[in-house]
Structure 1
């Protein structure tokens, strides 16, 4: 099993995998942070894509928007886990709905399986994880992205435990929260020293889910401020760093930086 790298700061974190089964390990790019997070060329937006590239504070972000009127959201893992978009694409049959885009969907272990709450099609694959521990997953509060039908939410894990009694159609747990009630997570500084490609999710006032990935290395603070200032989401959840990836068929983009675990797939609704 992998052992934890030394954690010099709560903010010097990027992706989690387990130290022991069910416990995340933090992969920290302290020695050569740019190596695991080299910027990729920004794709050219196309008319039928749900994604666009936005410049914010001199950094490029790709913002993919799931609209309840047009899209359905589901979680995907695979058995055994697909670990990447290519395997997922190969496994989807010709009758499968059209994929608008997909992203990595939460923290996972060495086997690619989720280490926190995970629900697909109303079936729970892993219970809510409220344990303490190392790494960004345990940088409390962490949170859950979940929903049923066209109602999607981001909520802290504690609030989810206290307030959500009905199992949603989909759900995935990650951490830390980036925004809580419109304010940055209390442990996130304005611009901490750690830089890597990062991504997260937040739901705006219109109920649309924004899945945002940086096109180059950024701090936690900059990603959190993007959610606060551009889509103006009240709550936003960090999905991962370093391994963060997006698949946008309309752009011909399929990231494959490293093996991933759970995925969030946004499908086009039939017309």
Structure 2
């Protein structure tokens, strides 16, 4: 009941996030889009340690008269909930960029970085990010890349039986909009990547995670629950 009450309390502010349900190639997704001028932030840890949940972020924002218009998990993490790769929060780098191949989805190169703030939203492949060294107010690294300059990740295969609930982000070519998607059914990498390229029309998209993928979308009366999460991102809006 408390979770439902929180969702209902957020309803007047959620329209700014533009969350909507859609079906693509027979699979249900929820997609939220955010503009470059909106107050999108990353959240990892506060004074008492890792947030771990949307509720913990909400509690801290409430003290400042703010709330979440939308939120989702935003990258892979260690058992202590700390980010696996690059993590920048309000210009402060808390974890370094990782460019080597490794086990798991994060190490399935190429991976990438979602870099945003100061009027731009970008998804950048990690080696390119290292070479360009863009200034990011916020950045989170994850992997693998889903779409790289208009092409699907070379390791993805149509018809793959590896299916999970998955979430990720894609950015428009002009850097003015970002699209955050979560599958509402188990989906393979190939089909999830096609959502970004063929339906949402982005040329670069990044995988955030699977299995643990969760979304807060108050305009859809949705708050996914589960065990503690690492980094999260959210659109911050004024509380009524």
TM-score, length basis structure 1: 0.78
Report the alpha carbon displacement of residue 72 of structure 1 after superposing the two structures with TM: 1.6
Matches within 5 A, 1:111-130: 111-130=80-99
Q: Distance in 1 between matches of 2:145 and 2:224?
A: 24
- Structure 2 unaligned segments of length 5 or more: list them: 1-10
- Structure 1 unaligned segments of length 5 or more: list them: 1-44
* Structure that is richer in strand per residue: 2
Match of 1:72 in 2: 39
Cα distance, 1:75–1:214 mapped onto 2, change above 3 Å: same
Report the alpha carbon displacement of residue 112 of structure 1 after superposing the two structures with TM: 0.3
* Structure that is richer in helix per residue: 2
Please tell me whether the aligned partners of residues 201 and 209 of structure 1 are also in contact (alpha carbons under 8 angstroms): yes
**Aligned-residue CA RMSD in angstroms?**
1.9
Report the alpha carbon displacement of residue 165 of structure 1 after superposing the two structures with TM: 4.6
Deviant stretches of 4+, over 4 Å: none
Choose from 18, 21, 46 the match for 1:53: 21
Match of 1:156 in 2: 125
Cα distance, 1:97–1:90 mapped onto 2, change above 3 Å: closer
Q: Indicate the larger mover: 151-160 or 252-261.
A: 252-261
Q: Distance in 1 between matches of 2:60 and 2:148?
A: 37
Please tell me whether the aligned partners of residues 191 and 220 of structure 1 are also in contact (alpha carbons under 8 angstroms): no
Please tell me whether the aligned partners of residues 20 and 220 of structure 2 are also in contact (alpha carbons under 8 angstroms): no
Q: Distance in 2 between matches of 1:73 and 1:162?
A: 25
Q: Indicate the larger mover: 102-111 or 257-266.
A: 257-266
Matching of residue 62 in structure 1 with residue 30 in structure 2: yes
TM-score, length basis structure 2: 0.87
Q: Distance in 2 between matches of 1:249 and 1:66?
A: 15
- Listed one character per residue, the Cα deviations across residues 34-87 of structure 1 (whole Å, up to 9, x for unaligned) are xxxxxxxxxxx9983520001001110000000124x22111012411111122
How many residues are paired up? 224
